[in-house]
Structure 1
Amino acid sequence: MPSIDTSSIERLGETSAAWLACAWQPTQNAHEARLQHAFARAGERAYGLYLRLLFSPLARAMRAAGLAVYPPLPGGLADSREWGLADDSERQRWFWSCVVREDDEAPLGTLVTVLHHDHTRFRLPQPVQLFALPVARAAVVEQELGRMNGAFAAAAPLRLHAAYGAKAQP
């Protein structure tokens, strides 16, 4: 189980990011055939499988430390944002989850996951990244992420694309 520091959202982000930096490639390698098969059958949904495999140990460690994460790691697809190259060979999707202490239900902050991926085949062109924000309200999280990254600010949440039948974002 990953070793995490829950003393603050910043330390939780740092220790979780360090664990992910070591685990992202071995997780992909251990499940490569399954992920390639999933991509051939269901396209980009294979990345959801990969993220569940990758984040499962981290989620268990957080539960064991008395933390609840909403939505579950790496975050909700509906509110995530994606953008990238027009040829779909390199995209990035940003997810986020609010972390709450279970004993007093006090929000610790937010963990943000960045997934660089390819829509043309199963490929992760960069390591999965994670960082922390000391805010927990969804509107404030979105505002902060938009301030940090102009492409995030320009991209609409997936739920809006689904609601209006829009195509993938540029």
Structure 2
Amino acid sequence: MNPNSDNVPAEGRSESPIHALVKQMNRHLAEVWTTIWNEQEEALTEMFANYGDRAYGAFVQRLMEPIAQRLQSAGYAIRAGFNRHDSVENWGPPEERERCCWYVVRDADGVAAGTAVLQLFHSHVSFRLPQAPNFLALEETEPSAIAAALSYAAVRLTGQGVSYRNFGAEPAQAWEYGTDAGLGDYLNVPAGQRQTGTGYIDHALALWGRNGWELVTVMPHGDRLVGYFKRPAR
């Protein structure tokens, strides 16, 4: 997994080390994550029923073991496992929440090469991953700088399209409500990057909309922009 090795495609050699590493981490992730999920699903589904989101932390901890081992064999190291304080979760409906867990990657001399961010879309309603996990590459290595970078949807969602699907529930007289305190992050762009249209707000609304939620209103709360959603009660 050495980004300077002959196994790295030519186009990757001009990239920063962290971007080249994360590309290879994603290849390895694609090879192992479904196997780990299938092995752990029954036990973690029971854990989710009893303890909620802790089940996803246990899954991430198991998932990062082979990733850390592969990095170590290439001369790099991360602090594997799952640390809730090294993560942020501000976005999406309960059926498709987005949590970003970060891991600073260091070389054999302990020098930080950058940060690999595990992007995990998951459900708070049942133990389910609506999207495959994915790594993002960041040059930032300090926690505050990492969190600030992840507040930009343009950083988290680069290269992702928006998909839509119909919600099949029948209309109901009763309603349920949800809030999203991260909507403003989809309108921000990093310094030096040009704003295009409405930014990534369509992506945010599509996540809620495809799970049956309708935007009611938005209101500022401190330095956040909070969206209020509703849908027919199931």
Contact 1:118–1:125 (CA under 8 A) maintained in structure 2: yes
- Match status 1:76 vs 2:83: yes
**How far apart in 2 are the matches of 1:36 and 1:118?**
12
Q: Deviations over 1:127-168 (max 9, x none)?
A: 0010211232223322322232594875xxxxxxxxxxxxxx
Q: Does 1:89 align with 2:95?
A: yes
Is 1:9 the counterpart of 2:6? The answer is no
Residue 145 of structure 1 contacts residue 152 of structure 1 at CA under 8 Å; is this kept in 2?
Answer: no
CA displacement 1:19-57 (0-9 Å, x = unmatched): 112322222112221121211221111111111221111
TM-score by length of 2: 0.56
**1:117–1:123 CA contact under 8 A, matched in 2:** yes
Asked if 1:28 is matched to 2:32, the reply is no
Change (3 A) 1:149 1:31: closer
Contact 2:78-2:105 at 8 Å conserved across structures:
yes
1:140 maps to 145
CA contact (8 A) 2:86 2:143 kept: no
Separation (CA, whole Å) in 2 of partners of 1:123 and 1:18: 22
Q: Which has the higher helix share?
A: 1
Aligned counterpart, 1:60: 69
Q: Relative to structure 2, which stretch is displaced further, 10-19 or 23-32?
A: 23-32
**Shift in Å, 1:79:** 3.7
Query: 1:143 is aligned with what amino acid?
Result: A
C-alpha RMSD of the superposition = 2.4
Distance 2:23 2:55 in 1: 27
- Pick from 113, 120, 143 the counterpart of residue 118 of structure 2: 113
Identity in percent: 31
* 3-state SS in 2 of match to 1:59: helix
Q: Normalising by structure 1, what TM-score?
A: 0.75
Map Cα deviations across residues 61-108 of structure 1 (whole Å, 9 max, x no partner): 2223332214x35x53114211221xx221110111111113x22111
Gaps of 5+ in 1: 155-168
Structure of larger gyration radius: 2
What residue ranges of structure 2 are gaps of 5+ in the alignment? 5-16, 158-181, 186-225, 228-234
Equivalent residues of 2:98, 2:121 under 8 A apart:
yes
State whether structure 2 residue 116 is matched by structure 1 residue 129. no
